[in-house]
Amino acid sequence: MTSSLVFYSNSELLEGPVFDTKHNLLYFVSILEGLVYCYNPETKEVLSIKLDSPVGSLFLRGHKKVLAASKNGFFEINFNTLNAQFEFQIDIKNTVRFNDGITDTNGRIIVGTMGYPEVKTNLGQVFSYHNGNYKTIIENTTISNGLAFSLDNKYLYFIDTPTNKVARYAYNLENGTVTFDSYVIAFSGQSNPDGMCIDQNGMLWIAEWNGACVSKWNPENGEQLEVIKIPCTNVTSCCFDNHSNLYVTTAKSNSQNDQFGGGLFYIELNTFD
């Protein structure tokens, strides 16, 4: 399986891909530029809206609508009108920004933070936001990254990148609280786990920073099942589309061979008509 370049605009750090299966649209961000993108796989149209601070993650709202978690607040982005409307803010330190996020089946927003402009140990945390209220559910994180729910919603998988591990938390869907269960995957090479998603069989797909790949893992036994190379050193995140194929975001690196770092790639795992 090979990856194909879908989009490139010389971005330093593409992240946060999320696919709207109902409307067949992909959304992603260029964090440091504060850009939110909407990509139509059928027409190849790319729309963008710029916010006034770094934006880490997106949450689906409706047709061509997402909620964006930026350092200066959460904004509803409407690609029908190309407008951005401030909605709310979670009180965070001036020295952090929002990074990866996800929603649970009850509509709660789960979103993590990390040091900005400088990464600092244990400065981040993971928040849960619902109906105007928010709380911290994981504390003392450094680079809060990949988030994924198990298929039965009993567990939340979470990556704090410098640990080089995937943690599993028991998740209470009624009140949105978590309890640490165990570490289920450990990285031992030169790469670091970044963003991730889960497939229809419960396997985790993890983007590897400094690893030039996306890897597939079984969280039940910690076994690595597959590695798919990407022609970029720093791979940041991934998500599935309607055909169970992968969109992958990347970032620039110092490698001379890294021609399209910061590009969006597509990996066809399954053939379809």
Instruction: Report, as residue numbers or ranges, the catalytic residues.
Output: 194
Q: How many CA atoms lie within 13 A of 230 on its CB side?
A: 35
Contact 20, 39 (CB under 8 A): no
> Alpha carbon 165 to chain centroid distance?
16
Give the start-end residues of each E strand in 8-119: 14-20, 25-30, 35-39, 46-50, 55-62, 65-70, 73-78, 83-88, 96-103, 109-115
Instruction: Provide the 3-class DSSP secondary structure of residue 57.
Output: strand
Q: Which amino acid, residue 181? A: D
Phi-psi map region of 181: left, alpha, beta (phi>0 left; psi -120 to 50 alpha): alpha
Specify the length of the chain in residues.
273
Distances (CA, A) of 273 to 13, 89, 110: 33, 44, 36
As to burial, measured by CB atoms within 10 angstroms (0-12 exposed, 13-18 middle, 19+ buried), residue 41 is middle
Cα–Cα distance, 208 to 205 (Å, whole number): 10
Alpha carbons 121 and 114: distance in angstroms, whole number = 9
Beta-carbon contacts of residue 38 (< 8 Å; ≥ 6 apart): 25, 26, 27, 46, 47, 48, 64, 66, 79
